[in-house]
Structure 1
Amino acid sequence: RYDAAGTSGIINIKTKKSKSMGLNGNLTAVTGYGQTSKYSGGGNVNFRKGKINAFGNYNYANNGRLNNLNLNREVTYQDTVTNFIQSNSWDNRRFNNSFKAGVDYFINKNNTIGLLSNGYFNSNDENSTSFTNRNNNFSQIEDIKIIGNNEEKYQNAAFNLNYKGVLDTTGKEISVDLDYSKYSSNHDELRDNAYTATNLQPRSRLLVKNFAPSKINVKSVKIDYAHPLNKTSKFEVGLKSSIVKTDNDLLLARLKENTWMPDAEYSNHFIYDENVYAAYANYSKEFKKFGIQMGIRAEQTSSKGNSITKNQIVDRNYLELFPSLSFSYTMNKDNQLGLSYSRRIDRPAYDDLNPFLSFLDEYTFEKGNPYLNPQFTSSFDLSHTYKGSITTTIGYSHTIDVMTTVTEQEDKTLKTFAIQRNLDEQNIYSMNVYAPVPVQKWWNINNNVQVFYMGFKSKSENGDLNSGQLALTYNMDHSITIDKTFTADMSAQYQSPLQYGIFKIGSQIVVNAGLKKTFLNSKLNIKLSMNDLFNSRRQRLSTTYQNMNLNFTQKAESQITSLTLSYRFGKNEVKAARRRSTGLEDETNRMKN
């Protein structure tokens, strides 16, 4: 029934119609500061009268963010060792506007028709500075300074028409969704490159402009049918069709003699078409102590990537099956067992398929990969739940064609490229324990510990990859009730060193805290939040894969204090709007916003 994309579990929440009429809603305002200011606010409203339920929300955010990246790499070519020491900083301000509006009309107690629209119009203004020192055996060759200005805009509007009908008193249901989404983005960038040479002929200043408009249109039709066979068993079938078309145009121009001249090496017009047709069938049965659910989903995918500028076409046509099987067994009132298997797919983001080539400087690039394949994951899980609270899960997952970022190096030109590639396989063996601990009536601790081994294998012309490491993550959440209207919380997350793809990732620990006070019979809430109390969140990566010798540290603004005010108004008894999915969730998640 659900898209085969992703590996997380599915929770199906069924809602009941309420005779309660009226209006309710919520207003929220947030202000925060770390190294830059942050503001956001929004509200939602829900109205029911007669056979009509209308609802909507709007949210706005104006958030600044600083980001720093230090990158060191070493290139060896013909017995000459060249070192690059790079320092990059970004001053970013992001503006987000998101909305959702809908109406449901209850034709009668068994038939409902609904209209839904949601979307966003976001923008991003970024100023950047990059310093690169190039040297041979630490004897300086040249310095490069780049000043950049980047403006990005993302807009998306999606529309859904839904019909849901209960066909008889046994609970037979049919649901139909028609969806359409129109997405567009613009990326305008100016980079000013200045060079200071020590042992080389000085180079002239270089000005570069980058224009990258993009459009994505998605159409989808989805039909679901549920047929209870009796009180303890159900059969479900469904169909889905989605049609995607993306149009990306990248133009890079260099300023020569006061004239902007297009650079054919970096410019590209790329069109991508993708059609996915899916059908599924599920069967579930509940016994006294035992439950079973089994399903199969078939997806036929046809796609074509066409680089018009480079006269390069990539065609794909494949049929894949995605079975799923799960068992549950209640041993006694305190112990439950679960066993599950599923096969799923993750498709590349649309931007990752676009064979663009953009650069941080003339030695450091990022590029897309039209040959990137989807990844397929088979997962097995065995779980035990004790007294409905302590859960232990042992799992294994095997992924082929793993999509991950790799860095590739051209020794002769000294250039490094970051690109999405498919590695042959990934294997994860894991054990997860979730254990809530009620220390006192007023103090609860939730603990989540995961121990896992993550390994990667891949073959290539330049050398094979066989990497892996045992790792640990631990999340701890404290919830403290000071009185009926005053609570405190604190959380800590620890991640040990781990290996992911070609990169070794350093450990980190992050601590957050908050205080919350309620007023006016809990209608008004005020919360003070402090994120990353010790300013310890940072990303540290290194690799020596193939001919690479690279390490970098990235520190984004993370130590932030914020104040949130929320006010709930209207009748509490008014039933919330229908919770339902559309046919575009998987496709929307592949768009950059």
Structure 2
Amino acid sequence: MECFINIIWFCFKKLNHNPSKYQYIFIIICFIIVFVLFNLNNVFGQSLKGKIVTANNTPIEFVTVSLLKDTINLENTITDSNGVYRFTRLKIGHYKLSVSHINYENKETAFNMLNDTIINVMLFLKSKELKEIAVSGKKPLIQRKVDRIIFNVENSLTAIGSNALEAISKAPGVRVINNTISLVGKSKLAIMFNGRLSQLTGDDLINYLKSTSANDISTIEVITNPPAKYDAEGNSGLINIITKKNTQLGYNCSVQLGDAQSTYNTLLGGVNLNYNKEKNKLYTLFNAGNGSTAPIEKNIIFYPTQTWKKTNNRRDYNRYITGTIGYDYQPNAKTAAGFNYSFGALSPNMKEAISTPIYNLFNTIDSSINTNANSTRNINYQSVNIHFENKIDSVGKKITIDGDWYFYQDNNERKFTNENYNANGELMPNTLTQYLSGSKQNINLYTLNIVADLPFKAYKISVGGKLSFINNKSDVSFYQRINNRYAFDNSNSNNFIYNENTQAIFANFSKTIKKFDFQVGLRSENTGTTGISQNNNQTTKNSYFKFFPTAYITYNLNDMNSFSLSYGKRINRPSYYKLNPFKWYTNSYSYSEGNPFLQPSFNNNFEISHTYNNFLTTALSVSNENNRFDQITIVQNNTNLQITKYLNFLKTYTYQLSSSVFINKINWLETNNQFQIFYSVSKSSLPETKPIIKGWGGYVSSDNQIVFNKVRTILGELNFWYQFPYIDGLDKSSGYYNIDAAIKFLVHKKKLQVTISGNDILKSNKPIYYSLFNNIKQQNNNYYDNQQINISILYKFGNQKIKKNYRQINNSEETKRIN
């Protein structure tokens, strides 16, 4: 053990001095820990194992095997699919082995443990056949636990003909808008499957959720204030999807084809295959798409003597193929291991036609600037996860370890042309300029996560730690076309290197005392960052060590009422591209740039909530964010320059009252209605802005699922939401709303599902944002082509009772910060 600790300490020192050796040291650490954990059972004490069989020598699964000493039950376990049981770390002495199964006669065997021992047991069927007992019970639709709200999907209409994304949208406090999942009052959100954070983000995550049947889901847990076990990154909540457990063998497969028609067409397809054979589980997922949309971005700047009205008519292309393949192996009831590999190849190309007419005080055009741009972009990523789980005993004590590697490569080339025209629409002399900008980004992420869950009779403890190592290299080049050739512009080019190392440990304690549930946790994180801008000869270093406490109290007054109080502190780290000081020009007067001096911000979140009769949830929350960074467009009267950059300049407070009502008393209708009202205060440290902005906001929604026939094969949905005007940072937003509708047909024994849906039917999802800088008003009005008609066909075959076993990965907080 001392040797093992010394090796890890040596690796830490090398990681701090030689980032280029990340991959080698990371692999060494993973293999050392996996090797040690695999051999834990042989390190301490003696082992007892054996096989439980029938009179025909057939292995019996799920036999309860108990180890007793002096009538005291020391440990329990169950046999695996081969009838094998195992006990480890036993001391020398006299023991008794007790074996029981509902269909077989019980048996006890006394023995002396002197060294490793094998005891095989034969069981005989009970002489009297047990009468079948029907046990019926139904969980409430909504349950309140000490740190989360549980939505029991299997008791909802959502389980019929819906996918996981649709099921998530029905959970209390959850919004799904334009395929974006969010929690009320939270800026970010992470998805988990069976307690493990998802590697997938963006379209990959949405496609996977759409390919997962809601019928495979047992519960959805909504965690608005994550405990210390999870990363402190982001003012985010968590959604944990718990799938149904089963031991079905065989395979299943689903094939999905779709067509989304907005301004242009997009074709989608996907295949999901799962195979389960005793100790082995194989799962694969592949998705592909090709199409485009036509967003429109409008920006107006009201200078004292001029008004600039910029309109960007874009065409965003989206061609991609992504895949995941994984394998899990469980040699016995206590040990499991496996790996997961994911990849993606994306080409999100873009064409832009940007027109900027400049109006005078008489509202006539003085001049205009036209910009045409074509961006060619290729993104490739790969990720690998190696995981291991060792159950210490049968009451839930276990150790889990995950090692992850994620590689992201983004090559982007953008050609753009600027032209200036006079009031008569004539090209002004010497104003035609042509540019070429290129960007190459390579990101490597390495994470190692270890968690020990230690439940005891009177309380539960979880402890663990995480290491993450990030290396980001960005190479940005800029050229201007002169005399029919592109000349390199060193002043607008840059090589940027960013390294970040984080070490985290946590401890979590929970206990129940009569009607009270308590939970407290503490997470500490030590982070060191280095940003190097080679062209600017600029090196920026930063380090910080912080504690992130969490606390929860739940009081269960009676079967109808429960009250909860929670507190949590979190950190928001800037995305990698926000740290790159490169200037990205949209025209000769407008550019955006990153800021290598950005610092993280910190959140404090308080919430008190009440759950009534398991269908009405009400919460009052208060949160503040210190040293918040945000994007701001700096405009000057004398130069007309428009510089967009990120700065730490805000301190914000949010006070919110929210309520969620879930009604399913009618067998053909299920409705989920949400309401929030909030008051926001933003304080700015920039002298060019207002020192304080405050105001009210609100949100209402109603999601309704309808069953049109008794056999439940024709289903419909009608969903509505309205966002009232609100304040976010220095921006004021107008009100806007959205209406979606869908109809589904389940045929061929519900194996074939056909869905026709309409998104943003009235084309009303058009927010307008207002801001003020240097007493110059700015207005942004963007529409991202949300109005769509979608047709989707999903066919399932094989054994549909097999549980999807997609493995989730533990570097999701790091990968969220990629572009």
Alignment partners' CA distance in 2, 1:252 and 1:424: 32
Q: Matches of residues 14-413 of structure 1 in structure 2 within 5 Å?
A: 18-76=246-304, 81-137=305-361, 138=363, 140-198=365-423, 202-230=429-457, 232-413=458-639
Relative to its length, the structure with more helix (as a share) is: 2
* Residue pair 1:409, 1:415 contacting (<8 A) in 2 also: yes
Partner secondary structure for residue 203 of structure 1: coil
Matched with 2:676 is: 450
1:431 has 2:661 as partner:
no
Deviation at 1:10, TM superposition (A): 4.2
**10-19 vs 355-364, greater mean Cα deviation:** 10-19
Which amino acid in structure 1 is aligned with residue 476 of structure 2?
L
Alignment partners' CA distance in 1, 2:240 and 2:594: 36
Alignment partners' CA distance in 2, 1:190 and 1:34: 27
Q: Deviations over 1:232-251 (max 9, x none)?
A: 52111101110001011111
* Residue pair 2:243, 2:803 contacting (<8 A) in 1 also: no
Partner secondary structure for residue 61 of structure 1: strand
* Residue pair 1:480, 1:488 contacting (<8 A) in 2 also: yes
* Residue pair 1:290, 1:327 contacting (<8 A) in 2 also: yes
Q: Deviations over 1:369-409 (max 9, x none)?
A: 11222221110111111111110011000111223221111
* Residue pair 1:133, 1:143 contacting (<8 A) in 2 also: yes
Partner secondary structure for residue 614 of structure 2: coil
Alignment partners' CA distance in 1, 2:263 and 2:446: 42
Alignment partners' CA distance in 2, 1:17 and 1:266: 56
* Residue pair 1:502, 1:545 contacting (<8 A) in 2 also: no
Which amino acid in structure 1 is aligned with residue 565 of structure 2?
L
Alignment partners' CA distance in 1, 2:237 and 2:356: 45
* Residue pair 2:326, 2:807 contacting (<8 A) in 1 also: no
**510-519 vs 583-592, greater mean Cα deviation:** 583-592
Q: 1:201 to 1:486 in 2, by over 3 A?
A: closer
Deviation at 1:84, TM superposition (A): 1.4
Matched with 2:766 is: 538
Matched with 1:416 is: 642
Alignment partners' CA distance in 2, 1:549 and 1:261: 37
Which amino acid in structure 1 is aligned with residue 811 of structure 2?
L
Which segments of 5 or more consecutive residues in structure 1 lack a partner in the other structure?
none
Alignment partners' CA distance in 1, 2:793 and 2:434: 46
Out of 503, 507, 510, the position equivalent to 2:731 is 503
Alignment partners' CA distance in 1, 2:282 and 2:689: 59
Alignment partners' CA distance in 2, 1:444 and 1:175: 39
Alignment partners' CA distance in 1, 2:238 and 2:644: 34
Partner secondary structure for residue 265 of structure 1: helix
* Residue pair 2:261, 2:788 contacting (<8 A) in 1 also: yes
Which segments of 5 or more consecutive residues in structure 2 lack a partner in the other structure?
1-228
Q: 1:501 to 1:8 in 2, by over 3 A?
A: closer
* Residue pair 1:300, 1:318 contacting (<8 A) in 2 also: yes
Matched with 2:788 is: 560
Which amino acid in structure 2 is aligned with residue 60 of structure 1?
A
Report percent identity of matched pairs. 26
Deviation at 1:500, TM superposition (A): 1.3
Alignment partners' CA distance in 1, 2:240 and 2:464: 16
Matched with 1:590 is: 817
Deviation at 1:19, TM superposition (A): 3.5
Q: Deviations over 1:205-224 (max 9, x none)?
A: 11110101101001111111
* Residue pair 1:409, 1:547 contacting (<8 A) in 2 also: no
Q: Deviations over 1:425-457 (max 9, x none)?
A: 110100110012347331222100010011110
Question: What TM-score do the two structures reach when normalised by structure 1?
Answer: 0.95
How many residues align structurally?
586
Which amino acid in structure 2 is aligned with residue 352 of structure 1?
K
Q: Deviations over 1:147-172 (max 9, x none)?
A: 11111121110101001000123321
**254-263 vs 157-166, greater mean Cα deviation:** 254-263
Higher RCO by CA contacts (8 Å cutoff, separation 6 or greater):
1
Alignment partners' CA distance in 2, 1:87 and 1:40: 30
Alignment partners' CA distance in 1, 2:244 and 2:675: 36
Q: 1:139 to 1:171 in 2, by over 3 A?
A: closer
Alignment partners' CA distance in 1, 2:236 and 2:358: 45
* Residue pair 1:336, 1:386 contacting (<8 A) in 2 also: yes
Alignment partners' CA distance in 2, 1:538 and 1:119: 34
Deviation at 1:423, TM superposition (A): 2.8
* Residue pair 1:59, 1:98 contacting (<8 A) in 2 also: yes
